[in-house]
Structure 1
Amino acid sequence: MRKLTFGMSVSVDGYVAAPGDDLGWGVQSDELFQWWSDRVGATGLALYGRRLWETMSSHWPTADQQPGATPAVIEYAGRWRDVPKVVFSSTISEVGWNARLVTGDAVTEISRLKAGDGGTMDIAGATLAGAAMRNGLIDEYAVVTHPVLVGGGKPFFTALDNWVNLNLVETRAFPGGVVLTRYETRR
């Protein structure tokens, strides 16, 4: 069985995007960017919801070809292109960049993928992750907390019908007051 992880940057008050889908509140550092790049490099299959897919696919396929692209950006762009991706959407008709589109039930497809062989799957996008979370499919949460309160927006965690007990497996501080807490689901 494959492991399913979910990790995103989050404000201290629990949001992955501020009102209006504003992402400008994140604290950036080379060390944190490298952590994200290494995470992409270790992913066997990336699962995307439509909104985050549109954001990522509008930038990363050619980010390494842009003037002034740093070695870190070049590395990340290559890793992003190389990882196989599944995009879940009922509103778009095609995807590219080493991805396939699933228009049916996301939970059914994620369960099927999880039951198969292969490397770690990483789910990207809070709405898609919320469906997986509610159905007990996520094995690990990587919460990258930035030192900001945004007051509302899109939450990292979804409303649940039952508690999910977690074990802390890692903490790490990054420059600028960013803190990683990584948890495994206790089964």
Structure 2
Amino acid sequence: MSDARFRLYMALSLDGMIADADGGVEWLNRWEDVDYGTADFMTEVDTLIMGRTTYDQIAGFGVDWPYAGKRTVVLTSRPLGAAPDGVEGTSDLAGLIAELREDGARVWIVGGAATAGACIALGAIDTVELFLMPVLLGEGVPLFAGDGPEVPLALRETRAWPNGAVGLIYDVA
């Protein structure tokens, strides 16, 4: 049996949006001054599966690649161009998941909705780790599109911060 572990780890608004109506995540900036355990989380993963829109957004921030030292696989059918070290593209998610299971990888499913949905459909999520931010965006990009299979979850942990953010960790049952 493989020791591979696939974790969906995401911040979202209370109404389930991971990005605003324009696809931006700047609405999250007001909560950046709090430690939600991300640094510890990053020590527990070695590979990232990332959607192309998320990759393009991060690359467009004009900063050094924030995931240096981690293998990052971008789901895309288009060439990535001049990608940072450790970043590669693939359009074969099923093959990638099989490879990562074989290798015992510790995987972060970074985003967004299409990536999460595709991983769910392939049974490649072991835990769902959500950070609900105390805001209703009203419209935007939902984390779950609602067209995937039913996935029973078992609540493992909750945590609340004084700023109103709530962390929820679910294991796939």
TM range (shorter): 0.7 to 0.9
Q: Any unmatched runs of 5+ in structure 2?
A: none
Deviation at 1:6, TM superposition (A): 0.6
Structure 1 unmatched ranges of 5 or more = 64-76
Verify: 1:165 aligned to 2:152, yes or no: yes
Q: Is the 8 A contact 2:117 2:148 kept in 1?
A: no
Picking from 85, 97, 101, the partner of 2:89 is: 101
Matched residues, number = 168
- Deviation of residue 161 (structure 1)? 4.5
SS at the partner of 1:81?
coil
The residue matched to 1:31 in structure 2 has which SS? coil
What residue number does 1:42 align with?
44
The one-letter amino acid paired with 2:117 is G
TM-score of the two chains, using structure 2 as the length reference: 0.85
TM-fit CA distance, 1:29: 4.1
2:115 alignment partner, one of 115, 120, 128:
128
The 1-side partners of 2:63 and 2:148 are apart by 38
1:5 and 1:138 in contact (8 A); partners too = yes
What do residues 114-166 of structure 1 show as CA deviations (whole Å, max 9, x unaligned)? 42123411111122111111232211101100011111211112324532111
Give a deviation string over 1:62-110, Cα, whole Å, max 9, x none: 27xxxxxxxxxxxxx4xx20111111111234322311221x332x134
Equivalent in the alignment of 1:67: none
**Which structure has greater helix proportion?**
1
Q: Deviations over 1:42-62 (max 9, x none)?
A: 212111111111222344862
Percent identity of equivalent pairs: 25
- Aligned pairs (5 A) from 1:24-173: 24-26=26-28, 27-32=30-35, 35-59=37-61, 62=64, 77=66, 80-94=67-81, 95-102=83-90, 104-106=91-93, 108-126=94-112, 127-173=114-160
